Amino acid sequence: MKKKRVSLNDIAESLGVSIALVSLVLNGKDAEQGISAETKQKVLAKAQELSYKPNHFARGLRLGKSFTIGLIVSDIANGFYSRIARNIEDLAEVHGYNLITCSTDEDIERELRLIKLLRAKQIDGLIISSSQENPDEFNRLKAEGFPVVLIDRCFDGLEASCVVVQNREGAKQAAAHLVEQGYKNPLVLAIEPAHVFTIRERCEGFVSEMKKHSISPKVEFLPFDDAFNEVERLIDKLIQNNQLPDCIFAINNNIATACLQVLRKYNIDTPNKVGLVCFDDIPYFSFMNPAVTAISQPVDDISASAFEMLLKMLKDEKTELEGGVKHLPVELIIRESTIKKINI
């Protein structure tokens, strides 16, 4: 026989107090209502004794909330986004929220469908790394009063809050480092769609720094869903045409991983024949052979900042950057993949 769920009334009756008092204590409002520490401890002890578990669904109905938030990213399999998802999941749990995570595969229409789907599931707020071409959808959500925070990607004219890193600055640092190491024929490998904020910022930052040194990088855009095969086809073509670059700037960790695999397949010496630097650092870059030079992003800070902004909106608190953009610094970590061992 199924055991009856313990209710607030059960706790109240066993202590001879009101349901309202029990509710205030269990919701952390005892101090503001002048409930004594002794009474609070009695309520908490009885709740533990009876194995009371709060009914979040009922509480949500009372408050008009689902205590669920959404997270939409381009690819949850990407190490950068999976780390952000785990961080936000942990933060959500601490604050009594559940998290639903979705991937768009850089598909604009799929992203819009996912936003609609999550709202139909009555999520209380949304954190999103968007593939849209303009801020219209997010400005509309903000105008409706729906809590939304963008991460990693931004837009000109965006009215909603956003957390991004210094993409241009990081790409410039990578370019300056390659120039310092004597590389003169760089290739930028990016992914489509080219309009995406991070991709555009990183490409423009890298190219502008290289042009200061009279170097004009070649930029290639690869399909989002076939990185390895496209990198292989491209490098094979460059080898056949004797046009292999002397260094590659990979726009993200998936592209960099594909480059490492293809360069190794063709026995191309990294860094002496082709140097490699990646925007975004992931754990295995530090112990690969060669270890990969990378621009490290503050994943923990991105997650914490975005969640803090959203939480304040959920609590109807004003944020300092509501409707603004928070820029976080990056760090260039120099490793073996860009340090030539011999003069060639």
Report the CATH number at residue 189: 3.40.50.2300
Mark whether 255 and 324 lie in a shared domain.
Answer: no
pLDDT at 113 (0 to 100): 97
- Residue 222 confidence (pLDDT) above 70: yes
Residue 59 lies inside a defined structural domain of this protein: no
Mark whether 292 and 255 lie in a shared domain.
Answer: yes
Higher-confidence residue: 225 or 216? 216
- If one counts the domains in the chain, the total is 3
Q: Sorting pLDDT into bands at 50, 70 and 90, what band is 334?
A: very high
AA identity, residue 156: D
- Dihedrals phi, psi of 152, to nearest 5 degrees: 70, -35
Mark whether 142 and 33 lie in a shared domain.
Answer: no
Mark whether 133 and 144 lie in a shared domain.
Answer: yes
Burial (CB count within 10 angstroms: exposed 0-12, middle 13-18, buried 19+), residue 265:
exposed
- Residue 321 confidence (pLDDT) above 50: no
Q: What is the per-residue pLDDT across 263-296, written as a single tens digit (0 to 9) for each? A: 999 999 999 999 999 999 999 899 988 999 999 9
Six token digits for residue 323: 């409707």
d(CA 244, CA 231): 12
- Residue 187 confidence (pLDDT) above 70: yes
Q: What is the mean pLDDT of residues 68-82?
A: 93
Tell me which residue range forms the domain holding 214: 167-297+332-338
Mark whether 255 and 200 lie in a shared domain.
Answer: yes
Identify the helix (H) or strand (E) that includes residue 151. strand 148-151
pLDDT at 344 (0 to 100): 44
Residue 344 lies inside a defined structural domain of this protein: no
**Whole-number mean pLDDT of the chain?**
89
pLDDT at 267 (0 to 100): 93
Q: Which of the residue ranges 3-7, 17-21, 154-158, 320-324 would you say has the lowest mean pLDDT? A: 320-324
Please tell me the pTM assigned to this model.
0.78
Q: What is the per-residue pLDDT across 77-88, written as a single tens digit (0 to 9) for each? A: 888 999 999 999
Mark whether 216 and 226 lie in a shared domain.
Answer: yes
The DSSP string of 181-214 is: TT--SEEEEEES-TTSHHHHHHHHHHHHHHHTTT
Q: What is the per-residue pLDDT across 304-313, written as a single tens digit (0 to 9) for each? A: 999 999 999 9
Q: Sorting pLDDT into bands at 50, 70 and 90, what band is 317?
A: low
Q: What is the per-residue pLDDT across 33-57, written as a single tens digit (0 to 9) for each? A: 888 888 888 888 888 888 877 665 5
Q: Sorting pLDDT into bands at 50, 70 and 90, what band is 218?
A: very high
Mark whether 248 and 316 lie in a shared domain.
Answer: no
- Residue 24 confidence (pLDDT) above 50: yes
Output the CA angle 71-282-223, nearest 5 degrees. 65
pLDDT at 3 (0 to 100): 60
pLDDT at 55 (0 to 100): 61
- Residue 25 confidence (pLDDT) above 90: no
pLDDT at 280 (0 to 100): 92
Mark whether 200 and 258 lie in a shared domain.
Answer: yes
Q: What is the mean pLDDT of residues 231-244?
A: 91
- Residue 59 confidence (pLDDT) above 70: no
- Residue 71 confidence (pLDDT) above 80: yes
